Structure 1
Amino acid sequence: MQTFGSRESEYLRVHIEPEIRTAAGAVRGRRENDVVVFRGIRYAEPPVGARRFAAPVPVRRWDGVRDAMDFGPPVPQASNTGAVMSGGTGDGSEDCLSLNVWSPDLGAARLPVLVWIQGGTYLENNSANPHCDGALIARSGAVVVSMNYRVGVDGFARITGVPDNRGILDQIAALHWVQNNIAAFGGDPANVTVFGESAGGACIAALLVMPLAAGLFRRAICQSMPGTYFSERLATEISATIAIELGTEATVGDLARFPPRALTDATDAVIRKIPDFVDSWGPMALTPTPFSPIVDGEILPRAPWRALADGAARDIDLLIGHTRDEYRLYTSRPGGNPTDARITAAFTHLTTSSELYRIAYPDATPAQRFEVLNSDWLFRMPSLHLADAAHAGGGPVWLYELAWSFNSEEGASHALDVLLLFGTLSPDEVRAHPSAHPNAATEITHVGQDMRTDWVSFATTGEPGWAPYDPVTRSTRVYTAAPTTQPYPEERSRRIWSTHRFDTLDLLHTD
């Protein structure tokens, strides 16, 4: 019996609970079908006490073997406001800076590595999100990594006495961990692709031009990146307004006195009245978040469009795109139908071409034009212009649009690409949707597989499977039930925005 137990333990260790030695210490994962998963590996020291608003510190070495079976606790956000980052240990969430690895082969496979940077309006981030499970992509032939990084005030507010863009600095720390450790998980540290959606995509656009991120990845995929990057003046004003809600100032000494719940509550209070600031904060006051990467001249020297056009990241392969109906995610929600006042505000502050929208979209209602405008200003045109900038700077770039949807009410809305890529929206769920079109349940599997295949191909070889983008042919992969490659399909909006130059957003005036 004793001998059998020993053999059984060895079998579990090798086949069911494999162990990997990282630079800091050993971790024990779990084999789940044909993929090995390691969850909740700490990549930086807990950002608590004196480290709360500081740049991340590499994790210290440990003895023994740490279980990596469960996702690490999420960072502070509206849904997680316990002991984390206030120095307490009551809920264990001080270990929030962790990452996860899915690998189909722990041998010397040297597989391409895909590092996922999740979105969430710079307010939410939790790598335990079931819609970001990396198993299916890993089965397609890649090692997949995801991470928690700081958001909200802790990650993106401008605070006197600490560095800006701390959430992106966390991402850089995780990428350093990948460089130092991923070979042991079957990945190739010389072939790393970062991919992310929404705020995650915008962070990737920032990483492309940040000196601290140089050499940490070879390729990048920006999905539905919002075009908001803040000046120091604008970020300072926003942070000061949040601090006023607490009766204090936006300095590290003052804000460190407040628990995470107080910071998220103060942020929520500002979000509720953010449109009131549009005359001074400008168009960002019409977005759902008071945070974005800060162009501080040091950590993030310039906004991505200008930097890429001048040749930054020309050695990085770039795949970029968006969904067709980006802003439908917001207008299709209960209460999302815009009022006349919101429509007027949008066309007053987001564009100087309101008449051009009426001409370009003559059959659209005011509410529909509102949706198109917000899709263009916030997601579609920033993505297209980044492709133009990358091409102008001499870098290889490919463009795509997701045009497939499973129901006409929601359309090809923001974040649908995430569900397709990770394969977490099942045919049965689609079939049960009351507005699903007849073939949607069959098509979703194929569309998701098409995107996944192209993403992994790009990560492996630098070629997603269609012609690179250039401003003349504007070759675009359009994902439908039967994907095609064609000129950029949103030509009407492209023409409206052809003379616009996306750049750092600044205060319109100060009182």
Structure 2
Amino acid sequence: MITSTTVDTRHGAVRGAVAGGVLTFKGIPYAAPPVGPNRFRPPQPVEPWAGIRDATNFGPTAPKAPYTPPLNALIHEVDIPGDDYLNLNVYTPDTSARLPVMVWIHGGAFVNGSGSAYEATAFARDGVVAVTINYRLGADGFLYHPGNANRGLLDQIAALEWVRDNIAVFGGDPDQVTVFGESAGAMSVGALLTMPKASGLFQRAILQSGALHHAISPASAELVKARLAAKLGTDDFAAVPVSELVVAQQQLRAEVSANPDPAMWGEVATTMIPFSPVIDGDTIPGGYFNSDVDILVGSNADEFRLYLVPTGLMDHVTDELLIANARRFGLDPDQVRSVYQGTPGEKLAQLMTDLHFRVPAIRLAETAKTAYMYEFAWQAGTFGGKLGACHAAEIPFVFDVLEDNPFEALLGTDLPQHLADSMHAAWVSFATNGNPGWFKYDTGNRSTMRFDFTSEVVLDPRPAERALWEGIR
């Protein structure tokens, strides 16, 4: 019985593992370690190695602090120390084939997460070469310096270039690449669609709970940098120990949430993500959009409940707080009260879901030449049924990992396998032939596949809520 296999990449040979008909190669470097003189530089080339590199275990992950409670107990994380963390993992059923490729970009608000937290075996099982990547996070990846922006996105481009140059020896077709991601990963995909340097590196894109909405201006990025420097007592960020810097990053995000003052944070007062892509005029020039890429985009019905229900905050939202947030985002408070349903907390959850996730997805679908829209609506039974279809709830269904679900603490154990079957199959179908199995989205029908215990196509779901946001960024 074969338990390992070796493949020759452009930088050297790697030995992977074989199990259940799937070949896995883990921790393969796609760029040099981003430490020392490389720390705040764009990704640098990998040094070739002699002999056979072991690729049977995950490599290091980007430095990060834990999620803040209670999310630290609900969201699966993987932390592996080491400098060589610009690496990726490949899952393939056949190194001699020429199969469609899917490249996963993880989420985590650009300060958390890793590609190693996602088990992509089911994609390989179903005829796709799957790749999961790590990239620089927080200040190392996204702190703005004029002429040196978006290093985390440039890491992602370097990983996609590695795929272009090497994936054929793993059985993948470099001309049939789908890049997909969730949350900050989806926002990354949205940013890649606006980056000329990414042109030609992927032909299809899937954006789960994130789109083009969270990129910020250099002016806002400078405000974030100044606040971080004040917190650390220095603007020599390279001299700050990584362990201290990652904690300061999380504290900064908490400060934004506690006091979202535009005078202090600029656009980050709305996006709530201090370390995010910057429209710098170079790596992201502004005004460019790659309309040749086919898009599958969507959101979850109750995204923002992840941040309001486990914390207990949703039950304490007042009508005054709801009104204040409506005005902060330019909405008519009376319309918000009448259009959204439920308690003030439930209305605020839906308002914030629309602001951060649903409306950006709709606007991206309206921009793209070819787009398919979905909504994930299955309701988790945890937290007394209040959690709903919250942020990240679709991930175990997309990856078809219900038997060994890394989101069990969040979603529980009673998850419908038939929903995973249909959702996972739609993602594979889109990556394989460009069609997930329903009608394209356009402003005439607004065709949306609603994934639920019983899934169906819905035309223009919740038009009154969508209309609230017309003319508002």
Confirm or deny a common fold (TM above 0.5). Answer: yes
1:33 is matched with which residue?
20
1:247 is matched with which residue?
233
- Cα distance in 1, alignment partners of residues 133 and 419 from structure 2: 26
Mapped pair 1:354 → 2:369: no
Kindly indicate whether the alpha-carbon contact (under 8 Å) linking 2:262 and 2:268 is maintained by their aligned counterparts in 1: no
Mapped pair 1:364 → 2:342: yes
2:375 is matched with which residue?
401
Mapped pair 1:95 → 2:95: no
Mapping 1:449-464, distance limit 5 Å:
449-464=421-436
Quickly say closer, same or farther: Cα 1:360–1:343, change in 2 above 3 A. closer
The 3-state SS of whatever aligns with 2:261 is helix
Kindly indicate whether the alpha-carbon contact (under 8 Å) linking 1:286 and 1:346 is maintained by their aligned counterparts in 2: no
Kindly indicate whether the alpha-carbon contact (under 8 Å) linking 1:45 and 1:95 is maintained by their aligned counterparts in 2: yes
Mapping 1:68-467, distance limit 5 Å:
68-79=55-66, 93-107=82-96, 109-129=97-117, 132-160=118-146, 163-225=148-210, 227-249=213-235, 254-274=236-256, 275-280=258-263, 281-282=265-266, 284-285=268-269, 288-302=272-286, 307=288, 312-337=289-314, 338-340=316-318, 342-361=321-340, 363-390=341-368, 395-407=369-381, 408-426=385-403, 441=414, 444-467=416-439
- Cα distance in 1, alignment partners of residues 435 and 226 from structure 2: 45
Quickly say closer, same or farther: Cα 1:117–1:433, change in 2 above 3 A. closer
- Cα distance in 1, alignment partners of residues 191 and 122 from structure 2: 28
Q: Identify which of 26, 29, 36 aligns with 1:49.
A: 36
How many pairs were matched up?
A: 453
Q: Which amino acid aligns with 2:379?
A: S
Q: CA deviation at 1:346?
A: 2.2
Kindly indicate whether the alpha-carbon contact (under 8 Å) linking 2:223 and 2:266 is maintained by their aligned counterparts in 1: no
Q: CA deviation at 1:290?
A: 1.4
Quickly say closer, same or farther: Cα 1:122–1:475, change in 2 above 3 A. same
Q: CA deviation at 1:265?
A: 2.4
Kindly indicate whether the alpha-carbon contact (under 8 Å) linking 1:243 and 1:266 is maintained by their aligned counterparts in 2: no
The 3-state SS of whatever aligns with 1:476 is strand
Q: CA deviation at 1:498?
A: 2.4
Kindly indicate whether the alpha-carbon contact (under 8 Å) linking 2:396 and 2:406 is maintained by their aligned counterparts in 1: no
Larger radius of gyration: 1
Kindly indicate whether the alpha-carbon contact (under 8 Å) linking 1:201 and 1:222 is maintained by their aligned counterparts in 2: yes
The 3-state SS of whatever aligns with 1:320 is strand
The 3-state SS of whatever aligns with 1:182 is helix
Structure 2 segments unaligned to the other structure (5+ residues):
68-79
Quickly say closer, same or farther: Cα 1:317–1:428, change in 2 above 3 A. closer
The 3-state SS of whatever aligns with 2:88 is strand
- Cα distance in 2, alignment partners of residues 27 and 465 from structure 1: 37
- Cα distance in 1, alignment partners of residues 409 and 202 from structure 2: 39
Q: Identify which of 411, 435, 441 aligns with 1:469.
A: 441
- Cα distance in 2, alignment partners of residues 434 and 78 from structure 1: 20
Quickly say closer, same or farther: Cα 1:376–1:273, change in 2 above 3 A. same
Q: CA deviation at 1:344?
A: 4.8
Q: Which amino acid aligns with 1:378?
A: H
Structure 1 segments unaligned to the other structure (5+ residues):
1-10, 81-90, 503-511
Kindly indicate whether the alpha-carbon contact (under 8 Å) linking 1:71 and 1:127 is maintained by their aligned counterparts in 2: no
- Cα distance in 2, alignment partners of residues 266 and 272 from structure 1: 10
Kindly indicate whether the alpha-carbon contact (under 8 Å) linking 1:405 and 1:412 is maintained by their aligned counterparts in 2: yes
Quickly say closer, same or farther: Cα 1:353–1:206, change in 2 above 3 A. same
Kindly indicate whether the alpha-carbon contact (under 8 Å) linking 1:125 and 1:150 is maintained by their aligned counterparts in 2: no
Percent identity reads 40
Q: Which amino acid aligns with 2:274?
A: P
Q: Which amino acid aligns with 2:282?
A: E
- Cα distance in 1, alignment partners of residues 420 and 462 from structure 2: 22
- Cα distance in 2, alignment partners of residues 296 and 490 from structure 1: 35
Q: CA deviation at 1:262?
A: 2.1
TM-score (norm 1): 0.84
Q: CA deviation at 1:345?
A: 4.2
The 3-state SS of whatever aligns with 1:499 is coil
Kindly indicate whether the alpha-carbon contact (under 8 Å) linking 1:123 and 1:289 is maintained by their aligned counterparts in 2: no
Q: CA deviation at 1:176?
A: 0.4
Quickly say closer, same or farther: Cα 1:428–1:57, change in 2 above 3 A. closer
Q: Which amino acid aligns with 1:278?
A: D
TM-score (norm 2): 0.91
The 3-state SS of whatever aligns with 1:203 is helix
Kindly indicate whether the alpha-carbon contact (under 8 Å) linking 1:114 and 1:459 is maintained by their aligned counterparts in 2: yes
Kindly indicate whether the alpha-carbon contact (under 8 Å) linking 2:116 and 2:133 is maintained by their aligned counterparts in 1: no
Q: Which amino acid aligns with 2:99?
A: L
- Cα distance in 1, alignment partners of residues 392 and 214 from structure 2: 18
Q: CA deviation at 1:270?
A: 2.1
Q: Which amino acid aligns with 1:454?
A: A
Structure 1 residues 41-75: Cα deviation after superposition (integer angstroms, max 9, x where no partner): 01100011111011001211111000001111111
Quickly say closer, same or farther: Cα 1:427–1:409, change in 2 above 3 A. farther
